[in-house]
Chain A
Amino acid sequence: MRYVDEYRDPVAVQRLAEAIRARATRRYTLMEVCGGQTHAILASGLDALVADRVELLHGPGCPVCVTPLETLDRARLLAERPDVVLCSFGDMLRVPGSRGDLLAARTHGADVRVVYSPLDAARLAERLPDRQVVFLAVGFETTAPAVAGAGRWALERGLTNFRLLVSHVRVPPALEAICGAPDSRVEGFLAAGHVCTVMGTEEYEPIVRRHRVPIVATGFEPVDILHGVLMAVEQLERDEPKVEIQYTRAVRRGGNPAAQALVDDVFEVADRAWRGIGVLPGGGLRLRARYAGLDAEALLEGRAVEAPEPAACRAGDVLRGRLRPPDCPEFGRTCSPEHPLGAPMVSSEGACAAYFAYRTDRDGPKEDAA
């Protein structure tokens, strides 16, 4: 398949790995930001190919993982209203809130549906005028334009029964927080290619200047990822940190202005809590006041939701690259994809789930039970 196979070519991958080993004069610590990259790395075994020269830390770029427990509980409260149809992306439905996940709510009679696109949820609202269709809007800058577009689409059609429960997050404040932590070991980032497709790379330039870390906007296939690593290593060797684009087939420095304008029209930057990390200044998006009619919070009628995190889950350390998932005492023991303690074990982009799924050196659940 064109545009796929060439980026998975084993010969190109080996050449890049050799180039990285040849160029790096010492072992560097890099962080790939996006959970999609984490899964590609572990599914292909890329980390092992360059392990003597590069340690790859796994970043916070799993939208499901950083969605606060409280938001999940809000979603469940909404889903339990008989007039509500709650829609979201598939992964979101399996993340445990403090009273179980949204799929569990469905077995208790709630109308919870998987959609592939926010617009599908808006269309559902058009078809079900007697119901409130709530879209649980999670994700980074990548998905925000589609959510904004769906909201405008619904309003343009005069729909009053389409609502958004917004939990959108932004990447740059998270990188800022990781770099600013006193114990940070990160020497360079592979930024998430799809986020940069929308937002471009300009907003990473101040971070590079402040913290002198290379940031390379990188794609998701094995060749992309090793190419991104090589570019970051090259910068570190020359001690010339800058923002570079590896994923040139999708990313421009200015990003996608039409998508940005759509997001800017519907949302404004706001402080937001990240699960496991805490409140990040400017860490998310919220609906602008003129789009308050889209806000699903109104349906909650001020009901307070408090949600303590399970104490055993160290998702926050995993998301900041401080803890490798297999080093977590609960990994594979009390915590597995079928009985997850936290979101990184659930999502298809979660680092814990990636280790559990792919690593042949992990203890299997059977051995653990013995």
Chain B
Amino acid sequence: MTDAPDLDALQAAVCPLPTAAEGERVSLAHGAGLGASARLFEELVLPALGNPALEARHDGAVLPLPAGAGRIAFTTDTFVVSPLEFPGGDIGVLAVHGTLNDLAMCGARPLALSCGLVLEEGLPLERLRGLVGSMGRAARAAGVPIVTGDTKVVEHGKGDGAFVNTAGFGLVPEGRDLRPARVRGGDVVLVSGPIGQHGAAVLSVREGIELESEIQSDTAALPELVETLLTVAPGTTCLRDPTRGGLGASLCEVASAASLEVELFEQEVPVDAQVRAVCELLGLDPLFLACEGRLVAFVPPSEADAALAALRTDPLGAGAARVGRVCDGPGRVVVETRIGGRRLLPLPAGDPLPRIC
């Protein structure tokens, strides 16, 4: 065997993997589990996501754990963003970053991801290739393989192009315990950069708002930034990635779960000028727009300066700021306004909707 030429490699050298003919689209057969499904996996998914566990082509992935691995963090998230592609990313990259970040907020070092695709019949294979390619690049960049997955196809009209589910697990090192109940009065609230960019990027495409320069989604993988932060601020009590509902919802959730009052300094919250402009136009509050590459950290006051400095050494945390503090009081968020007043931060009842005038 060892002397035999590696036929696959030879063929690959002269005859690259067949690409989908132009205009080819997802059909129900791609989800039927037969030949077309297998071809989709071999020709489109595996080249993008390939790794030893996935190449085993088994019903699931079997992975070894390092000795003394500690505790496992496990999470899942489903992505239904419309449009599928937006400035700064697409649903694929979002699905990888989203689950990596959820693990990172638990203090976990991510080990592996799964991917479930629900595709709508008629989706051009080129677009699917783009999305899966993004997933592969994002996973490789984070050093976390996508080790198992599944693809289903629904009839035309019964999906919105593609929905993506990812699940992931990671290991939480001994001694780490990040959750709202650990937040204490006096903790300083840090945010790792300007807020609302993902929400504004998607909204401005959806609403056809033309700006001088396009707003890019902030989608990014945060596990490394979390390690940087926790190295200098091991007393950090809680981390959140302010995705749906934005910084505002994250703070309200933590305040409520911890039964403590969070004071937010409106003036200190970093918001990019373009994002502010979109919010002014649409009558939205950037505090409630989604971020996909930011974190909120609750840090004891003694570690706050070091934490802020450490965040700022990383490009993903360059715009980090101290935006609030935790006080004893009812579980709510109180905003100190620009003009020095105090008001409650209300959690909107539903999705942000446009105002009338």
Contacts and interface: CB of A to CB of B under 8 A. Distances in A.
Contacts, number: 96
Nearest to A142: B357
Q: Is the interface of A mostly helix, strand, loop or mixed?
A: helix
Contacts of B344: 357-360, 362
B228 to A, nearest CB: 32
Of the four ranges (under 10, 10 to 19, 20 to 34, 35 or more), the interface on chain A belongs to 35 or more
B3 interface: no
A337 interface: yes
A206 interface: no
Given A1-B273, A359-B344, A364-B330, A90 B338 contact: no
Q: Nearest 3 pairs between A and B by C-beta?
A: A45-B341, A90-B353, A357-B346
A366 B350 CA distance: 19
Interface in A24-70: 34, 36, 42-46, 48-49, 63-64
B114 to A, nearest CB: 31
Contacts of B280: 1, 4
A90 B280 CA distance: 16
Contacts of A90: 353-355
Contact of B356 (A48, A138, A362): A138
Contact of B282 (A46, A49, A93, A116): A116
Interface residues of B, number: 27
B355 A43 contact: no
Contacts of A10: 338-340
Nearest to A362: B344
A349 B357 CA distance: 9
Nearest to A42: B343
Contacts of B346: 337, 356-358
Interface string A344-370: 000011000000111110101011000
Interface in A149-189: none
A91 B354 CA distance: 7
B195 to A, nearest CB: 15
B8 interface: no
Contacts of A348: 283, 353, 355
A274 interface: no
Given A1-B273, A360-B344, A349 B339 contact: no
Interface in B318-357: 330-332, 334, 337-344, 346, 349-350, 353-357
